[in-house]
Amino acid sequence: MAAHLRRFCQSVTLFSRYSHSTRGLRTSAYKTYNPKSPRFYLYGTAVATSLYFGWKWVEKNAMVEAARPTRRVTDDQTLRGLKLNHRERRFIKFSSVEYQGQLYMTPQDFIESVTDSEPRPRLKRRVLIERDLERFMQETPLLSKGSPDMFRTIFDKGIISYTEYLFLLSILTKPQTGFRIAFNMFDTDGNERVDKEEFLVLEKIFSTARRDRLNRALEGAVKQTEGEDGEVEEVLEDELQKSHVVDTTLLLHFFGKKGKQDLKFEEFKMFMENLQTEVLEIEFNEFSKGLPAITELDFAKILLRYTYLQSDQYEMYLERLLDRIPEGRGITFTEFKSFCQFLNTLDDFAIAMRMYTLADQPISQEEFHRAVKICTGTELSPHIVDTVFKIFDDDGDGQLSYKEFIAIMRDRLHRGFKHTSRSEGWDAFKQCVKSEMKAVV
C-alpha cells in the first residue's frame, strides 16, 4: 500500500511540474484566481481529474494486493515441494466439477485419468448445484443393474470423491484372490455385509490422514495448480476431501437412494470385476477399431504405454517384435484380459520365479506358462506367451530375463503411479551429473 501511495505522489508531482511549466500557469493558483479565466478552469479540472483517477488506481491495486494469496504455486515442481503426491495432483488435474467448494471427478473423468495422459480440454470446472445432484441420483443405476459399461453409461452425470478415487484405483490392481480381503476390510462387524457407515470408515481414514499430513507440511498454506487454459486455479488444502458427506454416485450405487441397503460380497466382487473389465475394454477398443482382435504390435504398445522407457528403448521393443512376427494372427480381448489379470498377481509371480530359479536364471516359455498357472489358477494362451517372449527376449534364444520383465510390467500395472515423473531442467541436469559421478567412482 505504501509503495502504491508513493508512486501516486510522484506522478502528481510530475504532473504539477508539467502544468506549471506551461505558458500562463507559472504563478500560483491564489494569484491567478479568476473564475472567468479559462486557464484556471482547465488547470483546476486537470488537477481534480488527476487526483480522482490516481486515488482509484491506488485503491484498486491495494485491493488486488490484499486478495493475493500468501504463497503462489504455479508449477509442478513447487506442488511436489508442498507434499502433494502424484495421485492428489492427478485428481486435481482431471476433476471437472465442484460442489460447495469441494472437487469431484465424474465417472468420465475417472476413466480418462486411468487411460489418458491428459484430461480433455475445458475452459473451467463446472459448479454443481443441488438440482444437479438430484438429477445424478436418478441417473445412478441400482447395484443389481451394474454392468461392464456402467461408467461409460453414466458418463458425466455423477460424482466421485477423492477417497473413492483412491479406492477405485486400488480395484484396478487387485487380483481375484484379493477381492475377499478388500471386502473383509470394510466388513468391520464380520456379518458378511457392508453397510454405508462401514464403507464411510475408509473415507474418514483417508481424510484424517491426509489432513494431518498437510497441516504438518503446509500449515494451512494455499496451493495452486496451473489450469489447462493457462489460468491459475487456487486449490485450498481441504478441497480434495472435506468432513461433510455428499451422496456420491458410488454411495448411491452401493447403498441405494436412502442409504439403507447392505452390500454383499458377491455384489462387491461383481462390481470390481465389471470395473476392471470396463477399463480393459476401453483400452482394447482404442486399438481394435471395432474389430474382434488387435495386432501383436498394438498389444505391445498397450503394455509399454505407461512405462518409463526412453524413446529409443520403446522403439527397440516394437522393432524387435516386428522383426520376429512380421504377420501375426492377432490377439483377442479374452487373451488380452487374461494377461492383464495375470499382471495383477505380479508380486506372487515374482516370488514364484525366485523360488523356481534359485540363481536368477532366465526362464523358458514352458516355465513361464507353469508359473502363471500356479499364481492365477488359469492358463494363458500359448500365442500370447509367445508374443510376450518375442517382445522381451533380448537375444532371441527363447529365454526371458524375468526381472526386467517384472520391472517394466509393474509400471504398466500401476499406470505410472508407482514412480514420480521424470525431472526436467536443472533438476534433471543435477541428477544426470550425480549418476555420471557415481559411474566414474
Q: Is the pLDDT of residue 298 over 80?
A: yes
**Averaged pLDDT, 374-379:** 84
**Which of 53-67, 181-195, 242-256 is modeled with the greatest confidence?**
181-195
**Averaged pLDDT, 144-166:** 94
194-203, 309-318, 350-359: least confident range: 350-359
CB atoms within 10 A of CB 163: 20
pLDDT at res. 333: 97
pLDDT at res. 105: 96
Euclidean distance between CA atoms 246 and 162, whole angstroms: 12
- Do 196 and 146 meet the contact criterion of CB atoms below 8 Å apart? no
Contacts of residue 14, defined as CB under 8 A and 6 or more positions apart, other chains included, come to none
pLDDT at res. 235: 46
- Interior/surface letters 170-188, b for 16+ CB within 10 angstroms, e for the rest: ebbbbbbeebeebbeebbe
The SS3 of residue 382 is helix
Q: Is the pLDDT of residue 423 over 60?
A: no
pLDDT at res. 30: 40
Residue 141: enclosing H or E segment and its boundaries?
A: none
Helices within 86-195 (DSSP H only): 86-94, 107-115, 130-139, 150-154, 162-172, 178-186
What phi and psi values does residue 105 have, to the nearest 5 degrees? -95, 150
What are the pLDDT digits (tens) for 9-40?
555 454 444 444 444 433 444 444 455 455 54
What are the pLDDT digits (tens) for 269-295?
999 999 999 999 999 999 999 999 999
Euclidean distance between CA atoms 16 and 40, whole angstroms: 14
pLDDT at res. 207: 53
146-150, 317-321, 382-386, 397-401: least confident range: 397-401
Instruction: Give the pLDDT band (50/70/90) at residue 78.
Output: very low
Q: Is the pLDDT of residue 238 over 70?
A: no
**Which of 118-127, 264-273, 417-426 is modeled with the greatest confidence?**
264-273
Strands 126-127, 102-104: pairing is: unpaired
Q: Is the pLDDT of residue 149 over 50?
A: yes
CA angle 396, 399, 404 (to 5 degrees): 100
In eight-state DSSP terms, residue 258 is T
Q: 101 or 294: which carries more pLDDT confidence?
A: 294
Q: Is the pLDDT of residue 74 over 90?
A: no
pLDDT at res. 381: 93
The SS3 of residue 153 is helix
pLDDT at res. 208: 53
Q: Is the pLDDT of residue 125 over 90?
A: yes
Percent of the chain with pLDDT over 90: 38
- Interior/surface letters 63-85, b for 16+ CB within 10 angstroms, e for the rest: eeeeeeeeeebeebeebbebebe
Q: Is the pLDDT of residue 77 over 60?
A: no
Percent of the chain with pLDDT over 70: 64
pLDDT at res. 239: 60
Q: Is the pLDDT of residue 233 over 70?
A: no
pLDDT at res. 204: 64
Instruction: Give the pLDDT band (50/70/90) at residue 310.
Output: confident
pLDDT at res. 246: 85
Euclidean distance between CA atoms 416 and 438, whole angstroms: 26
Q: 350 or 206: which carries more pLDDT confidence?
A: 350
pLDDT at res. 123: 86
pTM of the full predicted structure? 0.69
Q: Which residue has the cell 494362451?
A: 381
Joined grid coordinates for residue 360: 536368477
Instruction: Give the pLDDT band (50/70/90) at residue 231.
Output: very low
Joined grid coordinates for residue 115: 487411460
CB atoms within 10 A of CB 370: 15
Longest dimension (CA), the chain: 110
**Averaged pLDDT, 416-427:** 48
C-alpha pair distances (Å), 197 with each of 204, 243, 257, 414: 10, 14, 14, 29
Handedness of CA 352, 357, 360, 361 (dihedral sign): negative
Q: Is the pLDDT of residue 220 over 50?
A: no
Euclidean distance between CA atoms 162 and 335, whole angstroms: 33
What are the pLDDT digits (tens) for 315-369?
999 999 999 987 788 999 999 999 999 999 988 888 888 776 655 678 889 989 9
